[in-house]
């Protein structure tokens, strides 16, 4: 079936489409402001508990030649992990629900919106939410004296990059899910990434063997290290590798989402 109606409806500019979807998300999300507010607290709780409570049992860690207190080591890890968790949850549970039960995307595509608009719009919304959490968390870090470099200003865009990369890929993968039972598989990936991406301890804990290479090749590890390099000011060439890695991952994810939505909704 060809999409003839598109020829007759006035086309939306990509920006017009984005703002329409964002306005829609904002309108429905206003009801959930309690969940929104408390979402910010979770990484802060982790920071206080692990960084400060457990931190008193640990002296300092070496990171890129600097010796830093444990709380200062954990904080950027939590910053990155929170961007990761937020993006992951938003782009799996929420997208699955909208796709399968609400049939929201079917409805959107009955308007002049395209699948690319839907993909971009959903990811942008996740990013707006994630950015507000990251900014608040960075302010907490600043207030507690856990930031030691002006590079930390770039930590906010870095968390957006992490959010973008994971949102795009996870949304793409969500389109393959058949039932809520599949969500256990998300936990199986999410939890080890959260715990083992050098968030809570240095990557040296894995020794020098292949396990460490695997960890270093995972996207959350790149994000964690990038954030840590920015808040401590210890930038290296591998920071650029992390940026390129996450960027490519996000773009590939976006292409996948578009292809999958085309296949699922336009045939």
Which x/- pattern over 24-43 shows residues binding another protein (rule: CB under 8 A)?
Answer: --------x-xx--xx-xx-
Counting every residue written for the chain, the total comes to 267
Residues 6 or more apart in contact with residue 153 via CB below 8 angstroms: none
In this chain, which stretch among 3-11, 14-22, 185-193, 240-248 interacts with another protein, using CB under 8 A?
A: 185-193
Question: Is residue 132 close enough to count as binding another protein by CB under 8 A?
Answer: no
> Which of 39/253 has CB closer to another protein?
39
> Which of 70/245 has CB closer to another protein?
70
> Which of 23/195 has CB closer to another protein?
195
Q: How many residues bind another protein (CB under 8 A)?
A: 32
Question: Is residue 181 close enough to count as binding another protein by CB under 8 A?
Answer: yes
> Which of 38/67 has CB closer to another protein?
38
Give buried/exposed letters for 203-229 (b at 16+ CB in 10 A, else e). Answer: beebeeeeebeebeebbbbbbbbbbbb
With left for phi above 0 and alpha for psi between -120 and 50, is residue 233 left, alpha or beta?
A: left
Q: How far is the CB of 29 from another protein (least distance, A)?
A: 12
Q: How far is the CB of 64 from another protein (least distance, A)?
A: 17
Element (H, E) at 29: helix 14-29
């Amino acid at each position: 079936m060809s999409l003839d109606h598109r020829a007759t409806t006035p086309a939306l500019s990509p920006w017009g489409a984005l703002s329409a979807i964002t306005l829609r998300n904002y309108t429905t999300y206003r009801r959930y402001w309690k969940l929104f507010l408390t979402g910010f607290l979770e990484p802060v709780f982790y920071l206080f508990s692990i960084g400060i409570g457990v931190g008193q049992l640990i002296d300092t860690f070496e990171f890129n030649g600097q010796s830093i207190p444990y709380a200062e080591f954990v904080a950027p890890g939590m910053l990155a992990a929170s961007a990761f968790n937020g993006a992951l949850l938003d782009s799996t549970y929420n997208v699955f629900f909208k796709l399968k039960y609400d049939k929201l995307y079917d409805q959107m595509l009955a308007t002049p919106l395209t699948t690319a608009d839907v993909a971009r719009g959903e990811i942008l919304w996740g990013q707006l939410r994630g950015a507000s959490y990251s900014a608040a968390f960075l302010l907490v870090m600043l207030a507690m004296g856990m930031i030691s470099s002006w590079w930390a200003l770039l930590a906010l865009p870095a968390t957006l990059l992490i959010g973008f990369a994971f949102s795009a890929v996870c949304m793409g993968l969500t389109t393959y899910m058949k039932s809520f039972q599949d969500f256990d598989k998300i936990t199986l990936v999410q939890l080890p990434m959260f715990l083992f991406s050098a968030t809570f301890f240095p990557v040296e804990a894995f020794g020098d063997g292949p396990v460490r290479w695997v960890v270093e090749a995972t996207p959350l590890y790149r994000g964690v290290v990038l954030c840590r390099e920015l808040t401590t000011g210890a930038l290296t060439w591998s920071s650029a590798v992390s940026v390129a890695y996450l960027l490519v991952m996000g773009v590939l994810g976006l292409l996948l989402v578009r292809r999958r939505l085309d296949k699922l909704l336009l045939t």
